[in-house]
């Protein structure tokens, strides 16, 4: 674990876990309010399957040295992501690169795919926030106006027990000192409104090979957003899996190994077919 300095001086906390005989490299983009430590098990499974894994605390999150719970522009996430990709390229010469994004991290992943369409072998999405969330629809017009006056006011993290079907996961989330409790109004508007507008305008430009996964019972990010993404993108190599009985954090559900097996099979198949 260490820090990487971004173009604007921000230091992002990151970690790399290396396989013995790596066949590929994966960058993980975590979700809103999370941190890289919540992906320890996912990382272990991927490393055991022959993939080097890089993960980092997004700016405004975890142990990264920036203002917690705040971003100026959502695009900073995209540019940070590219600096991490450049690090991976430098340290893993010749290995194919993949990206995995959960929830808000899925939105970062998708926008990265639109902005940088030639650096990766493919992308995986988990409960990705690829559209207007139900909780936002009612206040979509009011939020930007309120932010002009209250941009630095912090608002409580709205995540509830619909996070995961495993109650222990939600309990651990609530008691995790690195999980954000609040974020600024500006953060919410950049994430939930401004970035979605850009995403909707450019979604048809997306053409990476991708695996889209979602829990059928997800109340935080409805499965319909993933279905719409699948139907809108230009990718010829695309697959979608909707898992019955699962909520938002499918990678923390009790059957997470089944989902990780699906992801690893997809990664291996992409290597066989295209690399």
Instruction: Tell me the mean pLDDT per 10 residues along the chain, length 275.
Output: 96 98 98 98 98 98 97 98 98 96 98 97 98 78 71 88 93 96 94 95 98 97 98 98 97 98 98 85
pLDDT score recorded for residue 202:
97
- Are the beta carbons of 80 and 65 closer than 8 angstroms? no
Task: Classify the phi-psi angles of 248: left when phi > 0, otherwise alpha if psi is within -120 to 50, otherwise beta.
Answer: alpha
Q: What's the burial of 156, exposed, middle or buried (CB within 10 Å: 0-12/13-18/19+)?
A: exposed
Q: What is the distance between the terminal CA atoms of the chain, rounded to a whole angstrom? A: 30
Structural domain harbouring 136: 2-274
Q: For residue 169, what are the CA distances in angstroms to 48, 122, 126?
A: 23, 29, 16
pLDDT score recorded for residue 137:
66
Nearest CA-CA partner of 185 in 77, 105, 72: 72
What CATH code is carried by the domain that includes residue 10? 3.40.50.1820
> 54 is written with which tokens?
């890089």
**Claim: this prediction has a pTM higher than 0.85:** yes
pLDDT score recorded for residue 78:
98
pLDDT score recorded for residue 134:
84
**Number of domains present in the structure of the chain:** 1
- β-pairing, 238-243 vs 210-215, is parallel
Q: For residue 122, what are the CA distances in angstroms to 21, 64, 100, 107?
A: 20, 27, 9, 15
């Amino acid at each position: 674990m260490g820090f990487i300095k971004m173009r604007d001086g921000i230091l992002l906390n990151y970690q790399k876990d290396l396989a013995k005989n790596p066949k590929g490299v994966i960058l993980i983009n975590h979700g809103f309010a999370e941190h890289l430590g919540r992906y320890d098990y996912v990382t272990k499974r991927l490393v055991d399957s022959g993939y080097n894994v890089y993960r980092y605390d997004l700016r405004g999150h975890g142990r990264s040295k920036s203002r917690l719970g705040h971003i100026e522009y959502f695009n900073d996430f995209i540019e940070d992501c590219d600096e991490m990709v450049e690090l991976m390229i430098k340290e893993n010469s010749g290995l194919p690169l993949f990206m995995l994004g959960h929830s808000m991290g899925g939105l970062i992943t998708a926008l990265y795919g639109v902005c940088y369409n030639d650096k990766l072998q493919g992308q995986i999405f988990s409960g990705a926030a690829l559209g207007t969330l139900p909780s936002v629809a009612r206040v979509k017009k009011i939020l930007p106006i309120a932010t002009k006056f209250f941009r630095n006011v912090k608002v409580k993290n709205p995540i509830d027990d619909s996070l995961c079907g495993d109650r222990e996961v939600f309990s651990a989330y609530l008691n995790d000192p690195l999980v954000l409790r609040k974020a600024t109004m500006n953060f919410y508007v950049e994430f939930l409104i401004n970035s979605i507008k850009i995403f909707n305008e450019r979604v048809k430009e997306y053409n990476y090979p991708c695996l889209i996964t979602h829990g059928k019972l997800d109340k935080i990010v409805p499965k319909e957003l993933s279905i719409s993404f699948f139907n809108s993108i230009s990718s010829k190599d695309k697959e979608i899996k909707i898992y019955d009985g699962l909520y938002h954090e499918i990678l923390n559900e009790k059957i997470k190994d089944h989902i990780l097996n699906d992801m690893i099979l997809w990664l291996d198949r992409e290597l066989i077919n295209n690399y």
